[in-house]
Amino acid sequence: MSLVQPSSVRAKKAIRTVGQNYQAWSLLAFLSIVMVGGIGWRLGYLQLAEAEKHNLQAESNRIRLIPKLPVRGNIFDRQGRLLASSRLSHSVFLWPRVAKRDDWFQTRQRLSQILTIPEAEIQKLIDKQGRNVNTLVPIARSLTPAQITALAELSSDRDGLEVDIEAVRNYPNKDIAAHILGYTGEITDKELGELRSQGYRLGDVIGQMGVEAAFEKELRGEWGGFQIEVDGSGKAIRALGSKRARPGQDLQLTIDLNVQKAAEAALGNRKGAIVAINPNTGEVLALVSRPSFDPNIFSSRISPKIWKELQSKDHPFVNRALRGFPPASTFKIVTATAGIESGKFSPKSVLQTYGSLNIGGTVFRDWNGAGFGPLGFAGALQWSSDTFFYQIGKGVGGPTLIDWTRKYGFGKKTGIELKSEESKGLVADDTWKQKNLKLAWSVGDTVNMSIGQGFLQASPLQVAVMFSVPANGGYLVKPHLLKSKEPVSKWRKSLNIKPETLKVLRQGLRAVVNAGTGKALNSPTIPPASGKSGTAEAPPGANHIWFGGYAPSDKPEIVVVAFGEHEGKDGGGGKIAAPMVLRVMEAYFNAKKPPAKPVK
């Protein structure tokens, strides 16, 4: 076989080889142009189109934002005495961007030991913000001297860990007025989601209850802070600028600290509430709920375990002054009003009272089991005769009694600023009973309601508003906590009660103290007073006890209502609650006495 190829074959092979080499170089040149062009286009895009974005990223790497919480506004009583303020305290912060990842495990472990906070909780705080955040993340507030020393030593060799001074909330009177003032605490995840658009951020402090929550916008103030330039390791190089935090607005309340303290002492360790208001203006002079708490405990971080323990102690965060309970015989003020105003009974009506009455097949007894003989309205209030008011309730009928109950402000919120904590109470009617119990309203329901029992529920504050009606001449007042320069007319409206009805009510309430169930208030230590007791059945526990009163009887300045939840083990409202009212009134009127003249 010959190894020499024909010339035609060699020519074709030569032509194909040259073409292939040319195509390869062309392809390589094309790819090079594309790549260089792509890189150039990308560089141009980064330098031009995204220049601002990357400049900001570079700035964020070297500019550190150190926010400063504003100082929260102070809260004062009506005389300018301090109820809530701010104090300086040491807090520990972490800057995740600077903290070295290699050291984080040991840092977190030591922080947990020093602060007695679980490591998982510390890690959760960092995870919420993210490691690239440029602001300080608060880890703990209100550090002890021992913690400050230990953290100073730790921060000396741990980048991103700082101890700084900031203002935290302080309540100089501890648990006094706790349910009025409320407390502040770090913003929750839910609250942050709702309030982020208003400038709130993780670690922010916010009002969580009471006046602190109701007036959060006024008390909060405005964030400040400053910027510093840092090097690659996070060390400060120079300050770039600052914005002063704007402090919150100071508030003056209607509360009288002396009256508040007297009410706190009068209630003592009993579970319940005391409310004192000006019956003419609706100004709240004192508002106490027991059990209570010290709001200062929230100035530092509270563990879930401690929070659970606090809540388990008879619900100390429930404001019993704003929660509904059966008002018992204090409600006979409303029944008497309905009886006379309806025209079914005259102011001079006299009814025979009995040991019991059979109404609609049910036996309704009087509290003394014997009755009081014939009584008029004033006498029936004086002795709190149940069978008298059974007859009044039955006589006016359910719709009329319910209508007057609502006119007196029951079944709706009073309008006090603590609206998120206030209960409307309950004024049941046929519609309510049909919906909830699948039963029609009966005469027995009206009879029960006539003495403040059955489905009726009212808060101590609502009962104080009720007592204000006969005290001020027939006006329904709107209780409020913020001191106001508004005219009295803004805070009350007339119920258009006839003068003869008001006269009967005031005669009866004065007789209660003079010679009836409220003789504990018949004391020379206060001006002549008027009032009404109440004892509500509350099975399976002991009875609830009530006493409400006002003084002076001829020109009332103060209404006080005392309530004891299941505190009727040793007696009724006249025996246990009336002395509480007396102590509060003594504090109020003693403060009004002119100072004694020095003996020459």
Paired with 562 in beta bridges are: 274, 547
Start and end residues for every CATH 3.90.1310.10 domain found in the chain: 63-252
Q: Tens-digit pLDDT profile for the chain (600 aa)?
A: 444 444 444 444 444 454 555 565 666 666 667 666 666 665 665 555 555 554 544 455 566 666 677 889 999 999 999 999 998 888 888 877 666 666 778 888 888 899 888 888 888 887 876 665 656 778 888 888 898 888 888 877 676 777 878 888 999 999 999 999 999 988 888 888 888 888 888 778 899 999 999 999 999 988 777 666 766 555 556 656 667 778 899 999 999 999 999 999 999 999 999 999 999 999 999 999 999 999 998 887 776 777 777 777 789 999 999 999 999 999 999 999 999 999 999 999 999 999 999 998 999 999 999 999 999 999 999 999 999 999 999 999 999 999 999 999 999 999 999 999 999 999 999 999 999 999 999 999 999 999 999 999 999 999 999 999 999 999 999 999 999 989 988 999 999 999 999 999 999 999 999 999 999 999 999 999 999 999 999 989 999 999 999 999 999 999 999 999 999 999 999 999 999 999 999 999 998 777 666 665
> 3-state secondary structure string, 162-187?
EEEEEEEEECCCCCCCHHHHCCEEEC
The domain made up of 257-592 has a fold known as Beta-lactamase (3.40.710)
Tokens found for residue 399: 């719709």
**Interatomic CA distance for residues 583 and 562, integer angstroms:** 11
Those residues whose C-beta lies under 8 Å from the C-beta of residue 158, and which sit 6 or more positions away, are 99, 103, 107
N residues, the chain: 600
**Interatomic CA distance for residues 237 and 416, integer angstroms:** 53
Buried b (16+ CB within 10 A) or exposed e, 544-555: bbbbbbbbebee
- Multiple choice CATH, 63-252, 3.40.50.12280, 3.90.1310.10, 3.40.50.10490, 1.10.20.10: 3.90.1310.10
Residue type, 255: I
Start and end residues for every CATH 3.40.710.10 domain found in the chain: 257-592
- The pTM score is 0.83
